[in-house]
Chain A
């Protein structure tokens, strides 16, 4: 039944937004973290969620939910900030910090929360519609 397909679409969207909020929190928490790897301290790499349209219905390829995936860049790049007192500072006094923009991460999290809210209201509407359908003929 198509109302239940709608529930699947909503659940996939909510899943994707949860992933987005999780990665935002992870990035914000690790905005000044270093990772020890192969005898070297490398800057933490920001993760991102990639969303893609994913159709559920075989009859109609145009309708569907979201396929989401967490991606991490392979090249360990950071941003150089002048901080000569830091323990990992180079000879010139620069530290290779993780390349994380705190403001844009915050805004991404806000966007995800708004999207999650609109999906919740959609879920409530669909639930109410299904209950109404069950009451036909009473």
Chain B
């Protein structure tokens, strides 16, 4: 498999984008924890991650033309968001605060993990270049 520096960081970029999107959703939920009739927002993280992995393993720029690839990346940039309908409080709000706080910590740690992985990748490439 030929080494392509453009393709190399694509998966890291997509994962970081997905994590920051998740962070945005958590922020929205925590901010609206007291808003009447607000329904908690969620994404199917497993499915989105699988999408990213599928896209990065299949799509090689040589196989598909540039226009198609652009459209595809545009389409995938926004993950599908759904709302939690089941209410567990009187005012119709469905945010589970404990869950959101734990998700927040988990998500930020995972974000840092992605950054460390990316840094290691860059270090490896630099090491090879210095040889």
Chain A interface (Cβ within 8 Å of chain B)? 1-3, 5-6, 9-10, 12-13, 51-53, 57, 59-60, 62-66, 111, 115, 118-119, 121-122, 125-126, 128-129, 132-133, 135-138
State whether B27 touches A136 (Cβ < 8 A). Answer: no
- Give Cα A53 to B122, complex, Å: 41
State whether B122 touches A137 (Cβ < 8 A). Answer: yes
Asked if B53 lies at the interface with its beta carbon under 8 angstroms from chain A, I say no
State whether A10 touches B111 (Cβ < 8 A). Answer: no
Smallest distance from the beta carbon of B81 to chain A beta carbons, Å? 5
Main secondary structure of the interface of B (DSSP, over half): helix
Chain B interface (Cβ within 8 Å of chain A)? 16-17, 20-21, 23-28, 30-36, 38, 41, 78, 81, 83, 97, 101, 104-105, 108, 111-112, 115, 118-119, 122
Q: Which residues of A contact B30 (CB under 8 A)?
A: 13, 118-119, 122
State whether B115 touches A9 (Cβ < 8 A). Answer: no
Partner of A51, one of B23, B34, B111: B34
- Residue of B20, B33, B81, B108 with most partner-chain A CB within 10 A: B20
- Give Cα A44 to B19, complex, Å: 49
- Give Cα A65 to B20, complex, Å: 16
State whether B23 touches A63 (Cβ < 8 A). Answer: no
State whether B115 touches A133 (Cβ < 8 A). Answer: yes
State whether B21 touches A2 (Cβ < 8 A). Answer: yes
Q: Which residues of A contact B101 (CB under 8 A)?
A: 118
- Give Cα A115 to B33, complex, Å: 8
**A-B interface, 5 closest residue pairs, ranked by CB to CB distance from nearest:** A13-B31, A6-B27, A9-B27, A62-B81, A2-B20
Besides A13-B32, A63-B24, A129-B20, 7 other CB < 8 A contacts? A2-B17, A3-B20, A6-B23, A51-B34, A60-B81, A118-B30, A132-B115
**What are 11 A-to-B residue pairs whose CB atoms are below 8 Å?**
A1-B20, A6-B24, A51-B34, A60-B78, A60-B81, A63-B41, A63-B81, A64-B28, A65-B28, A133-B115, A135-B119
Residue of B nearest to A1 (CB): B20
State whether A118 touches B115 (Cβ < 8 A). Answer: no
- Give Cα A66 to B35, complex, Å: 8
- Give Cα A60 to B23, complex, Å: 14
Residue of A nearest to B42 (CB): A62
Q: Which residues of A contact B83 (CB under 8 A)?
A: 62
State whether B35 touches A118 (Cβ < 8 A). Answer: no
